[in-house]
A and B are shown apart, each in its own frame.
Chain A
Amino acid sequence: AQSVTQLGSHVSVSEGALVLLRCNYSSSVPPYLFWYVQYPNQGLQLLLKYTTGATLVKGINGFEAEFKKSETSFHLTKPSAHMSDAAEYFCAVITGFQKLVFGTGTRLLVSP
């Protein structure tokens, strides 16, 4: 079965610092991978996705992720954190027809 594992339930950074949120996947077929963000009391919003093609994917709000097959990873990065980036981030993989399977989430805390 396809799954994703997010390392670290909480990540704390200072404003302006690099953001790195880790996601590893398990899949017997080429995976379609997604990162979603959830702000407090809101639904999820797509940050970026990898399906095929270029392994470095750029998303909204300055985030990007790199698909590394050799490491079965899809880590999310942003060069410089902003206070508004504080939220919960979910990595997900598509299984079957359209079924999204989410990781447990990583809460990003940004301090001034």
Chain B
Amino acid sequence: DAGVIQSPRHEVTEMGQEVTLRCKPISGHNSLFWYRQTMMRGLELLIYFNNNVPIDDSGMPEDRFSAKMPNASFSTLKIQPSEPRDSAVYFCASSLGGRDNEQFFGPGTRLTVL
């Protein structure tokens, strides 16, 4: 398996623009997670899905952020409009589900908002 796939790997955009990050989880995994990593706040969970249904979105910073999982093999995280403080590395992870199963992380998308 190719692992968790994220695109793009790098994104540079200007403040106010819409940004869409994409994730393809490992085939057969039924849980998907979006994390954000910054120097100030470290690694924080934004939202996670189980069987394509959002379970916990309490980490989503504000209404400018939205996430979807239309099917088991694809998810998006959208920021509209983007702001400089959204600059971070965004990771997608997937797992088989359950508290003791490993979450497999993708390589991340480095977002820079100018």
Q: Closest Cβ of chain B: how far from A70's Cβ, in Å?
A: 23
User: Contact at B43–A97, with CB atoms within 8 Å?
Assistant: no
User: Contact at B107–A49, with CB atoms within 8 Å?
Assistant: no
User: Contact at B45–A44, with CB atoms within 8 Å?
Assistant: no
CA distance A44 to B55 in the complex (A): 22
Using A32-B100, A98-B31, A105-B42 as known contacts, say yes or no to A43 and B56 having CB atoms under 8 A apart. no
Using A99-B56, A105-B42 as known contacts, say yes or no to A44 and B98 having CB atoms under 8 A apart. no
Q: Closest Cβ of chain A: how far from B30's Cβ, in Å?
A: 11
CA distance A44 to B97 in the complex (A): 18
Closest to B6 in A: A43
Considering only CB atoms and an 8 Å cut-off, how many residues of chain B contact the other chain?
A: 26
CA distance A59 to B64 in the complex (A): 40
How many inter-chain contacts with C-beta < 8 Å in the A-B complex? 58
Q: Closest Cβ of chain A: how far from B49's Cβ, in Å?
A: 10
Contacts of A94 in B (CB 8 A): 99-100
Considering only CB atoms and an 8 Å cut-off, how many residues of chain A contact the other chain?
A: 22
The residue that A46 contacts in the complex, of B4, B31, B97, B102, with Cβ under 8 A, is B102
User: Contact at B42–A51, with CB atoms within 8 Å?
Assistant: no
Closest to A105 in B: B42
Closest to B107 in A: A43
- A and B contact pairs by CB, cutoff 8 A, 23 listed: A32-B99, A42-B107, A43-B106, A44-B93, A46-B103, A49-B102, A51-B99, A51-B100, A94-B99, A94-B100, A98-B31, A98-B33, A98-B55, A98-B97, A98-B99, A98-B101, A99-B45, A99-B48, A99-B56, A100-B45, A100-B103, A102-B44, A105-B43
Which B residues are closer than 8 A to A by beta carbons? 4, 31, 33, 42-45, 48, 50, 55-56, 91, 93, 95, 97-108
Contacts A43-B107, A46-B103, A94-B100 given; 4 further ones with Cβ under 8 A?
A43-B4, A43-B93, A97-B55, A100-B45
